[in-house]
Structure 1
Amino acid sequence: MVQAYILIQTEVGRSTSIVTEIAQIPGVTLAEDVTGPYDIIARIEAPSVDELGQGVIAKIQDVKGITRTLTCTVVKM
C-alpha cells in the first residue's frame, strides 16, 4: 500500500466545504483543516503509485476551489 500526505491551498473561505468533499473520495483516509501556508492536509492511500496518482490525486485536484497542492509520499526507512 502506497501512502501520501497532500497539502492543499484553497480559495478564501472554501476550506470547510472542500474538506467535506475530499473526505468522500475513495482512498482518502483523513482530511482536516490546518493553519499555516496550506489550508487542508489529507492522508491518502492506494495499492500502487500509479493508482495513487491517476486515481486519488487526480480526483482531489479536480475539486473546484483548490488552487495548489503539494504531495508528500510516505517512505519507510
Structure 2
Amino acid sequence: MTVQAYILVQTEVGKAAEVAEQIAAISGVLHSEDVTGPYDVIVRAEGPSMDELGNLVVSTIQAVPGITRTLTCPVVKI
C-alpha cells in the first residue's frame, strides 16, 4: 500500500511551467501541472510510507530551483 499526497507549490514569477516540468521527472511523482490561482503548480505524488513521502517532498521536490513554498496535503480514505 502506498501513501499519496497533493503538493501545492508556489514559484517565482514566470517559473511555473519550468518547475512543473522538472517536478514531473522526479520518481514518485504521478502528475505535475501548472495552474492559476494562489498556487502555481499542483503535484500528486506517492511513496511507500508517510516518512518516505515527506522525504521526497523535503529533499527532492523542494530542491527544484524556482520554488518558494510548498503545502503538502495527504490523501486520506474515509
Structure 1-normalised TM-score? 0.96
Gaps of 5+ in 1: none
Secondary structure (helix, strand or coil) at the match of 1:52 reads helix
Q: Which residue number corresponds to residue 57 of structure 1? A: 57
**Counterparts of 1:1-77 in structure 2 under 5 Å?**
1-54=2-55, 56-58=56-58, 59-77=60-78
CA distance in 2, matches of 1:64, 1:73: 23
Partners of 1:13 and 1:72 in 2: CA distance: 24
Deviations 1:9-67 (A, max 9, x none): 0000001111110001110000001110000000000010111011x202001111100
Q: How many residues are matched?
A: 76
For 1:65, the aligned partner's letter is G
Runs of 4+ in 1 over 2 A off after TM superposition: none
The CA distance in 2 between the partners of 1:74 and 1:17, in whole Å, is 26
Percent identical among aligned pairs is 62
TM-score by length of 2: 0.94
